[in-house]
Amino acid sequence: MSRIVAIANQKGGVGKTTTSVNIAASMHATRRKTLLVDLDPQGNATVGSGIDKNAISFSAFDVLMDESLNIRDAILRDVAGGYDLIAGNSDLTGAEIGLLEQTHRETRLKCAFKPILEDYEYVFIDCPPSLNMLTVNALVAADGLMIPTQCEYYALEGLSALLETMKKIKRLLNPGLEIDGVLRTMFDSRNNLAREVSGQLMAHFGEKVYRTIIPRNVRLAEAPSHGIPVLIYDSSSAGSLAYLSLAGEMLRSKNKA
């Protein structure tokens, strides 16, 4: 049975897509069958996986909007990071509006996933940087929520809307949804503010903060322009080692549960 993890933060530029691509690649490296779903209209996770987002037959848009589609027809096998991918592109902007007119609009993704739940150990969903119907679908379908966040001013305040949305979805649509973890990204240990905000996150979320910290890393920033995860671009880089560490931490937590 899959564990479905929505990777979300309504604030842009926090390393959400970088995390989605690289945790999928790292899980694949541990020999876990992994699927990445690009639910962001920008399609950056698709491009970062080595796929031309404008040259795909089916995308996450079709998975959401076409109930007759076999979801397996939308899965691209063994992309650059070795994982499988449901690609995303600007068509998803239409889904944001189109879903409002659909019946059971909040559960479309959850229903679409049912035929493949036995195929993957992990499914990661890269959510758009907003709390729209796409993100709602991801949270309704997910077992857990991963929240990447920079350790900067307003970090906690910026999470409040996401946490409120999660609470409503948990109460009304997905009682099993839980926070898997808060991930500190683009971290610079030399920065006093970063250390201070990191302490605030630890005080607020306690054990829900991953022990793994993703550092600022040039190789991590360069990898997307080459259409590959950092694990392939430079396996010995600090960014690559950090995401492998995160994968190990997630697997240990799952085994304990």
Task: Give residue-wise pLDDT tens across range 43-86.
Answer: 999 999 999 999 999 999 999 999 999 999 999 999 999 999 99
**How far apart, in whole angstroms, are the C-alpha atoms of residue 131 and residue 129?**
7
Within 8 A by CB and 6+ apart from 225, the residues are none
pTM of structure = 0.96
What are the tokens at 166?
């999660």
Domain parsing of the chain, residue ranges: 3-256
Q: pLDDT band at residue 121, thresholds of 50, 70 and 90?
A: very high
For 194-217, the pLDDT digits (tens) are 999 999 999 999 999 999 999 999
Could you tell me where the DSSP H helices lie in the chain? Answer: 16-29, 44-47, 60-65, 91-98, 108-113, 133-141, 155-172, 192-205, 218-222, 230-233, 238-256
Q: What is the per-residue pLDDT for 257?
A: 65
For 16-41, the pLDDT digits (tens) are 999 999 999 999 999 999 999 999 99
Phi/psi for 156 (5° steps) reads: -65, -45
For 161-184, the pLDDT digits (tens) are 999 999 999 999 999 999 999 999
In CATH, what number does 3-256 get?
Answer: 3.40.50.300
Q: What is the per-residue pLDDT for 173?
A: 96
| % of the chain with per-residue pLDDT over 90 | 85
Place of tokens 């089916």: 58
Let me know: does 145 contact 179? Beta carbons within 8 Å: yes
**How far apart, in whole angstroms, are the C-alpha atoms of residue 73 and residue 214?**
34
Candidates 232, 4, 39; CA nearest to 131 is: 39
DSSP letters spanning 142-198: -SEEEEEEESSTTHHHHHHHHHHHHHHHHHHT-TT-EEEEEEEEEE-TT-HHHHHHH
H/E stretch holding 209 reads: strand 209-215
Q: Quick one: how far is CA 51 from the chain centroid?
A: 17
Q: What is the per-residue pLDDT for 253?
A: 85
